[in-house]
Each structure stands twice: as C-alpha cells, then as structure tokens.
Amino acid sequence: MQCSVDLMERRKSFTLCIICDNLPEHLKFDGLMHDSGEIAISDVPSPFKQHFPEFKKAEAEFEKYLAEKFGFKFPYDPLVKVHDIKCLATEMRDLMVRDDQERLDESPYLEAIKPWGWKKAKREFMDRYYKYRKTNHVI
C-alpha cells in the first residue's frame, strides 16, 4: 500500500475510532488502544512477524507494558481481534491497491474509511480516550 506516513497516522486514528465505536462499552477503551505498540515499532505485517518469533515476543512485552501503564486489557479480548480484522478488511477495500479481503474471516464495515485531517484525527481519538479510559492515566 502506498500512502504517506501522515495519511497512515490519520487513517489509523479513524480505524481505531471505528473499532472503538463498534465494541460493547466494557471493551471500547481496549479497542481504541489495541494498536498502541505501533507508536514505537510501527505497523509490521503479520506475515513478516511469523518469520521472527523474537520480534513477536518483544512486541507482546511492549504491549503488556503499555496496557499496565495506560489501563487497558492485554492480552486483548477476542472480540477486539474480530473488530481489528473487520477493520483490516475495510482498509483492504478502501485503501489498498490489491483487494485480499477474501482471505480474511471477517467482512468489512459498511462505513468507508475517510482519512481525517490531523486536528480532527487527534480530537476524535482523544475524545474517546478520555471518555472510555478506565483509570486516571493521562497521556
């Protein structure tokens, strides 16, 4: 997929908000924060990670640290993963040159991805962060 880093980050905020909005109340914050490890290690495709088990281990340790620091559940509830796959299917449909969504177990969301400007992306993400966080942690 060819997109600028800025576009990718705005797209990520939009997709995290979609996941959050489609989960039950008790999982909304977990869904919003579930890709937080990517702030430091980037969004590395799963097929690549399968060849590097030490990378997957380090990624899991980092996500566990972030979960403890910010108060979300790790490992993630299976329903969070279901919505993560639905979001991937939506990204494939709306943003990628090649459409591989038939290889996924979930269908895309009906809503199309519309990347936001950086101000809207930050505002939408932070509004949900403060609404659904379970602790008094502040970023």
The verdict on residue 60 lying in a domain is yes
The verdict on residue 139 lying in a domain is no
* pLDDT of the residue at 105: 82
Residue 46 belongs to what domain range?
5-132
Amino acid letter, residue 37: G
* pLDDT of the residue at 52: 87
For the stretch 89-130, pLDDT in tens is 888 888 887 666 677 888 999 988 887 888 898 899 999 999
Closest to 32 (Cα-Cα) out of 41, 23, 45, 40: 23
The verdict on residue 73 lying in a domain is yes
Domains held by the chain: number: 1
The verdict on residue 56 lying in a domain is yes
